[in-house]
A and B are shown apart, each in its own frame.
Chain A
Amino acid sequence: MALTVKQRGVLQGITIGAAISIAVIAGAVIASPTLLSPQAAAGERLAFALRADAFIGLWLAISVGLLARHRFFSPEDIDGGGLSLGTETASILQATLQNTLEQTVLAVLVHLAWASLMPVSWLAAIPAAVVLFLCGRVLFVRGYRAGAPSRALGFALTFYPSVLMLIVVVGAAVTAML
């Protein structure tokens, strides 16, 4: 099956994003900088993940704020999404906010599971994933208007670190149960 130009663009973006994600997460795990004491209890590990994820929370809050700000300055959108169809800008901000929320939920849950299940020396993967998340979101928002190929890299940098960590953490959980 021949791919369209757009499909090739998306494929290229997600391939680069996946490669960067694997390299950064694996690099953080291999480098294993000392961020917590090896004897760190569950509370300290979860606190570490939550503090890193505050940056992700900030991005979600900014996304909510951008839409609210747009509504305030747009007479067509000031009544809110419940009562108006919305301009193109409002629709784009709503779509990026929805995608950011989905990615945030996935990332935070994966980071908390990672913090509680993986060795302490692997916890550097969490701030590394947060950096990828923020870079990915910026690229995603900047590229949204230009279509699917332009936002593919941003989407991949947000999504693949979570997927990669989820696979590893589920593997660790299953291994621990056996």
Chain B
Amino acid sequence: MKPEQKIVAIGAASGVAAMALGVWALANVLPVPEIVDSLGERLAYALRANVVALLPLFIMIITVANSRFLSEAIDPTRQAESVSMQIDGRVVDNTLQQNFVFAIASLAVSTIVPLQSLQVVWACAIVFVTARLVFWFGYRLNPLYRAPGMSATAYLNLGMILFLLFHLLTR
């Protein structure tokens, strides 16, 4: 394995481990939701968490817009973006993809987990937001350092989807 691959592999593995630990710890610390156990209430509960999960994407879009406003890249057709602006653009693209998977997965998961464990949706949202910020700052610092945030979000989404598919196929 080359040194760059080692950095990415270690970063990705630590990101996945931190994500799993974070979700587990937060799910145990956060209060059990005091809602009526209906699918509509569960979806509304998960939608609120999804609004928080959208915050990094919103901040990223605002950052790109402000960077454009304050530079020659105000006209996107000039292709005058700095390296940091190009990175921010990529981060926005990737975050949009991850946010959409997160929205589908977390809403679907909220319909199947026991009510006393429903706070896991908020735990996932908090970890998602943290991981996206780690991805962004890591990418800015050194592109190889994007691995922890990237893997934490991707495997968080994958975990939720696999949990859901397991439930659907085995119930």
Contact = CB atoms under 8 A, between A and B. Distances in A.
Given A68-B150, A80-B90, A101-B97, A43 B39 contact: yes
Interface stretch (B22-30, B53-61, B71-79, B161-169): B161-169
Q: How many residues of A sit at the interface, in one of the four size bands?
A: 20 to 34
B157 A47 contact: no
Nearest to B158: A61
Contacts, number: 109
Chain B: interface size category: 35 or more
Interface of A: 41-44, 46-47, 50-51, 53-58, 60-61, 64-65, 68, 72-73, 75, 78-83, 97-98, 101, 104-105, 108
A82 B143 contact: yes
Q: Which 4 A-B pairs have the closest CB atoms?
A: A43-B39, A43-B40, A82-B87, A47-B111
A57 B161 contact: yes
A101 B96 contact: yes
Interface in B8-38: 8-9, 38
B100 A58 contact: no
B89 A72 contact: no
Contact of B43 (A43, A61, A65): A43
Nearest to B164: A54
B39 A54 contact: no
Contacts of A98: 93
